[in-house]
Structure 1
Amino acid sequence: MKWFDDDKLHFALGIEDTFVPQTREGERAIDEYELTEHYTHIDTDLALATGVGAEMLRWGVPWHRVAAARGQWDWSWLDRALNRFQQLGLRPIVDLLHYGTPLWLDDQFANPDYPKHIAEFAARFAERYADMATDYTPVNEPMIHALFSGEYAYWPPYRHGPTGLITIAAALAEGFVLTQQAIAGVLGDEATFVHVDAGMRYVGDVDDPEHRETVARLQQQRFLVEDLVTGNVREGHPLLAQLRQGGVTDNHLSWFADNAVQPDVMGVNYYPLHSTEVFEKNVHHGGGFADPRPFRDAGTEGLREVLTTYADRYGAPVMLTETCVTGTVAERISWLDASVACLHELRAEGLPVVGFTWWPLFDMYEWTYRHSTNPRADHLLTMGLFDLVETGSGDLERRRNPVADRFRQLATASALSPTLIRK
């Protein structure tokens, strides 16, 4: 029996693991493990997760460090990390790709050999840690990848517009499929695949003629990579014309259909303050960091919608794989309570919700750090169960706050009193 087949709501945490190592004028590398000093604090950081009752940790692998040079592999830090997971009895859900590629991979996701390289990395990782890790997310938030790297020209390889989006989305999808096949080839039935994407919503004047076509496209586009990898882009798919215009051939679409991979668990990332974009009458916003649309706090109403939508669309159990609010301790506890209560209500109504993830375990630094010259402290986001506090020496102390205590209470209560869901 797999962990998600029981009647528990499983509690997980995450450690922010965005890696974009490429630089250019006005843009510095961003490596959240370096910024938060997770590389140094790996042993104690993982113990923090078990200390607050987490059963699982969504945790990313720094591909750009493991394979800093083409054809060379340095597993030393990962050996230490995976051994620590095992010592603690903490279950890793491995984020193999949480943005970013090694520096030697020219054109990054647009490189024609990208799918082959990420699949090789996946196979090597799975072989080395077969006895320590069986749960994998092949690509975290592939549609955010595609937007930031393919439409907004915000991250490498800086493609833009509809064609750029399709180029990156199709490449990520192919790498996704090959990654899952490679891991399954090593682990067989022991492997569990938690697909994860962002729960994007669009509200406001969505029927206004100015926005109607854009909203209709975005409503479908948020599912594009998952539809490709699961073999669900066929004749009649609403984005078929856009894919063909972007250079995806019928042969390539047939390859996706023939090589479809499925989620064991469909993960959805939802942030109540940021996951719902608002269209306003007579106001045009392009979307993304450079030209953002306004957001609406959709609370648990939005959470209910995205979890139900993904469960119905892909026919798999669903997991809330990221959520939090950036704010005071009281605001974080309020959302923690509300979101966990919402998941229990959905389970009682029969929706197969199997997991809850607070993201992140400790504070993180905003992605705007990459486009800034200011010190990391100016980009701190207060999101975690532990505050990041700079000491006089410049070291980052992890300081427990009351959100950690509340998380532990909820996780313990769930373990003792599971809620049955209909299979």
Structure 2
Amino acid sequence: MGPQFLFATGIENSNPTIQNGTLRVDELEKCNHYQLWEKDFDLVDELGIRFLRYGPPIHSTFLGPNTYDWAFADLTFQDLLRRNIAPIVDLCHFGVPDWIGNFQNPDFPVLFAQYARAFAQRFPWVQLYTPVNEMFICAQFSAMFGWWNEQLSSDLGFVTALKHIVKANVLAMKAILEIRPDAIFIQSESSEYFHAENPAAIKPAEIMNSRRFLSLDLNYGRRVDSEMYEYLTDNGMTRQEYHFFLGNNLKRHCIMGNDYYQTNEHRVAPDGSTRASGEIFGYHTITHQYYDRYRLPVMHTETNLWQGPSGDEAVNWLWKEWANVLRVRNDGVPIVGFTWYSLTDQVDWDTALREPNNNVNPLGLYDLDRNIRPVGMAYKQLIADWNQVLPAHSVCLQVPIVMPHDSHRDWAQEQKQDVKTASADPSTAAVNTVSTDAS
């Protein structure tokens, strides 16, 4: 099993509710994936991509406690298995089923873990997971900005959503590991930075730059700084809830996936208001900040840019992001993968899904008629050029990834047993499921 760089794309399965919970925004539906899923998987094959960020729509799959409709998931995941495309399974992407309500529901974490376990039991050949996508953004847009789901705009609402979302992620990881001991979790989290516009803005920018780490701090059991501890406890997190996060030890099963867009950097005014700054530091600098904090293997899990009037804007952004990935890698950070997100154009992301305008956003590798865009051709070439080169470099990552077709092989079964044994024996706790290997 040689090391393998994870060139990926994704099929966007966002499904938050808007208009006070009365309207669900289902990107799989808007992008016509329910009808064209076989064609979409053909396109993944055509690009030479073996890893796909993808998941079943939670709102139509998870019908109630221990009640599931697996019909669509059975069709699609059986086909991924047949094609030997390894899904990075996205189980919760900005929404929950109507019967759960929203992220303020304290029952959500336990219910979601049951769903994760049921999925892992049904599809035991799946190894890679993003249980909850962009935990920080999900809590922020739902409960701080008032845009989705509960549509709250308060620190109390945000902290409540955040603690439930991250607890759901942790409990889901534990549930999946009971079924698949060598599961690997790729957190897909937005990597942000807040720039102070002038000296009076330094304090609010500092607070925002601390807050951006909250979801991953809690997920990885890292102590938050004192100001953030006060913020969490002032807004309803109990000591017992905080210690739940400190007590989890799943970091060794994780890859820190981080997303970077032109909109991830912000200018902060003295009153704490923000506006987009565009790319100032870039992916390389900001990824170093996150890597220095968590010391985990990294994967660039999302980026894109609109194909603009000259037709090469997205191609140039792809090249720039890839150059940043290589620079991060050459600095010695174990970076294991790269993702252009998503496979096809998306719909209504220009208003962050808040308005059902059916505006097509031209940022996919393919358009919604499934015609390849220039960035799709460029990405296909990039993968062909680099796929064989990367593992031969001096710093490479040895991730024990089992491709779908190999899941029944003896060595794959032995690996699961070895990891299970290591996890059960504290004396071998230093054995990393995800480990770097300089060759």
TM-score after normalising by structure 1: 0.87
Amino acid corresponding to residue 334 of structure 1 in structure 2? N
CA contact (8 A) 1:139 1:176 kept: yes
Partner of 1:112: 106
> Any residues of structure 2 matched to 1:21-420 within 5 Å, and which?
21=17, 23-24=19-20, 28-106=23-101, 108-131=102-125, 133-189=126-182, 191-205=183-197, 208-209=199-200, 211-233=201-223, 236-262=225-251, 264-271=254-261, 273-280=262-269, 284=271, 286-287=273-274, 293-298=275-280, 301-328=281-308, 329-367=311-349, 368=351, 370-372=353-355, 374=357, 376=358, 379-388=359-368, 397-418=369-390, 419-420=393-394
Which amino acid in structure 2 is aligned with residue 221 of structure 1?
R
Deviations 1:148-174 (A, max 9, x none): 112112112122221111111111111
My pick for the range that moved more, 239-248 or 211-220, is 211-220
SS at match of 2:44: helix
Segments ≥4 residues shifted beyond 6 Å = none
Letter in 2 for 1:97: C
Tell me the CA shift for residue 179 of structure 1.
0.6
Deviations 1:80-115 (A, max 9, x none): 110111111111001111110000113x11111111
State the alpha-carbon separation in 1 of the partners of residues 394 and 57 from structure 2.
Answer: 37
CA distance in 2, matches of 1:69, 1:243: 31
TM-aligned CA distance change 1:332 to 1:82, over 3 Å: same
Unaligned runs of 5+ in 2: 397-435
Work out whether residues 30 and 369 of structure 1, in 8 Å CA contact, stay in contact via their aligned partners in 2: no
Deviations 1:110-137 (A, max 9, x none): 1111111110100000110012x11001
SS, match of residue 268 in structure 1: strand
| Match in the other structure for 1:421 | 395
Partner-residue secondary structure (3-state), 1:324: coil
For 1:226, give the aligned amino acid: L
State the AA in 2 paired with 1:35: K
Q: Is the 8 A contact 2:196 2:205 kept in 1?
A: no
Q: Which letter maps to 1:306?
A: I
Q: Deviations over 1:326-367 (max 9, x none)?
A: 133301111111211221232223121111100111100124
Amino acid at match of 1:225: S
Asked if the contact 2:348/2:356 (under 8 Å) is kept, the reply is: no
How large is the Cα RMSD of the aligned pairs?
2.0
Q: Equivalent residue for 1:392?
A: none
Return closer, same or farther for 1:9/1:373 CA change in 2, 3 Å cut-off: closer
**CA distance in 2: counterparts of 1:352 and 1:370, whole angstroms:** 34
Please give the alpha-carbon distance, in whole angstroms, between the structure 2 residues aligned to 1:371 and 1:336. 27
Q: d(CA) in 2 for partners of 1:247 and 1:232? A: 19
In structure 2, the CA distance between the partners of 1:264 and 1:420, relative to structure 1 (3 Å rule), is farther
TM-score, length-scaled by structure 2: 0.84
Q: In the TM superposition, what is the alpha-carbon distance from 1:264 to its structure 2 partner? A: 2.3
Identity, in percent, stands at 29
> How many residues end up aligned between the 2 structures?
391
**Which whole-Å CA distance do the structure 2 matches of 1:373 and 1:22 have between them?**
9
Contact 1:28 1:370 in 2 (8 A): no
How many Å separate the matches in 1 of 2:352 and 2:133? 20
Cα gap change, 1:285/1:238 in structure 2, threshold over 3 Å: closer, same or farther?
A: closer
Could you tell me how far apart the structure 2 residues matched to 1:10 and 1:230 are? 22
